Amino acid sequence: MAESAQIIRAEEIDPKFKYVVSKMHGAEKVTLCFQCGTCTAECPVSRFSDLYKPKRIARMVQLGLKDKILRDKHLWLCTTCYTCVDHCPQDVEIANVVRVLRNISIQYTESMPLVYRELAENLMKTGFVYVIPESRIKRREELGLPPLPKTNPGEILKIFELTGLSSLIKGSQTFERVE
């Protein structure tokens, strides 16, 4: 078996954690998971990774293993294919639970994958997640394409300030790869 036995110590457990998670949009039903394993069995990522198992993530939330799950970088391996959402007999929407955990984990660990910080910074500056080079924008005319509409970076910045994401990305450490 890929998952080796782990001893859980009482002080690792935060009994309130599952309620914190299930208050978040998309993760409301995490306590309903009855560990049938359908999600892991059908998850394409789990097929190629011994360390990413959605069923296990649901259980860790239920058990209150807050620190362990929020520091687990494998959270970043879900592709959001939503196969698990369609097939869960308890309608847990585990992909959305993973999204919620990623959101909380960034605040808790003050770190995120480098690629996401780059996307967020580009977005905050330009309105797009990639910096579209001037040459590309000019080439549109040659290709017979209409000009790319101008974005409104001022409004995007307002959104980032409203949600706190602008300061979150500034204060964040990054990591590059998740093996």
Partner 1 sequence: MVSGKPRYLIFLGCVIPYRLSSYEISARRVLSALGVELVEMPEYNCCGFPIDPVNHDTAVLLAARNLCRAEMEQLNILTLCNGCFSSLHKVNKMLREDKEERERINEYLKILDMEFRGTIEVKHLVHVLSEDVGFKKIKDSIKRPLSMLRVAQHPGCHIIRPKKVVGKDDPENPRLLKDLIGLTGAKCISYRGENECCGNPIIGVNEDIPFKMAKEKLDHIIAAGAEALITVCPFCHIMFDLNQPRIERIFNVSIGLPTLHYTQLLGLAMGFQPQELALDELRVKPTALLRKVFKENSSQKSS
- In whole angstroms, give the CA distance from residue 22 to residue 18: 6
Region of 16-24, 39-47, 124-132, 142-150 interacting with ligand SF4 (CB under 6 A)? 39-47
Q: Residue 76 binds which entry of partner 1, ligand SF4, none, with Cβ cut-offs from 5 to 8 Å by kind?
A: partner 1
- The footprint of ligand SF4 on residues 94-123 (CB under 6 A) is 94-95, 98
Joined tokens for residue 108: 């808790």
Among 8, 81, 137, 145, binds ligand SF4 (CB under 6 A): 81
- The footprint of partner 1 on residues 154-173 (CB under 8 A) is 155-156, 158-160, 162-165, 168-169
Site string for partner 1, 34-53 (x = CB under 8 A): ----------xx--xx----
CB of 82 to partner 1, least distance (A): 4
> What own/partner pairs with CB < 8 Å and gap ≥ 24 does 25-29 have?
25/96, 25/100, 26/93, 26/96, 26/97, 26/99, 26/100, 27/93, 27/96, 27/97, 27/100, 27/101, 29/90, 29/91, 29/92, 29/93
- Phi, then psi, of 173 in degrees rounded to 5: -80, 165
CB of 75 to ligand SF4, least distance (A): 10
